[in-house]
Amino acid sequence: MAALLLRPVGRYCLHGHLSPQLCIRNWSLPMAMSIGHRGTGVALSAGVSLFGLSALLLPGNFESHLELVKSLSLGPVLIHSAKFALAFPLTYHTWNGVRHLMWDLGKGLKIPQLTQSGVAVLVLSVLSSLGLAAM
């Protein structure tokens, strides 16, 4: 999906409209993770805001909405997938935030260390999300 959305940008770059320095064709892991960190921050902020607004505007209380979801009789695979989808942005943003704090201390700034810490953040995020979804 993202490739389809970014295709016009790539064509624009290939036709010489922008300098090659601005058109990065191969994204590095730290660059992609930085964009993901910002994206999960926006998603978490929007999610908390929408949850708060829904608590103010929708009739009923949280228990009644929870009973509505339970009455749908959704399968366990769908429920655990939804829980994982809700937990992953939180865990990814948290672990990547710890990584950024380590960078603020001046540690792990060399390219091999960036890649290793990036892989560690991804693994920890998936494992943490699976653990939270299993609760």
* CA dist., res. 86 & res. 129, Å (int): 8
Domain membership flag for residue 12: no
* CA dist., res. 84 & res. 128, Å (int): 9
The total domain count for the chain is 1
Domain membership flag for residue 126: yes
Domain membership flag for residue 4: no
Q: How many residues does the chain have?
A: 135
Domain membership flag for residue 112: yes
Q: Can you give the pLDDT at residue 53?
A: 94
In this prediction the pTM is 0.76
Q: Can you give the pLDDT at residue 26?
A: 77
Q: Can you give the pLDDT at residue 31?
A: 86
**CATH number for position 113:** 1.20.1300.10
Give the type of residue at 59: P
Domain membership flag for residue 8: no
Domain membership flag for residue 124: yes
Domain membership flag for residue 66: yes
Domain membership flag for residue 7: no
- Domain hosting residue 79, numbered range: 28-134
pLDDT in tens, the chain (135 residues): 555 555 665 555 555 555 656 565 677 888 889 999 999 999 999 999 999 999 899 998 889 988 998 899 899 999 999 999 999 999 999 999 999 999 999 998 898 999 999 999 999 999 999 999 999
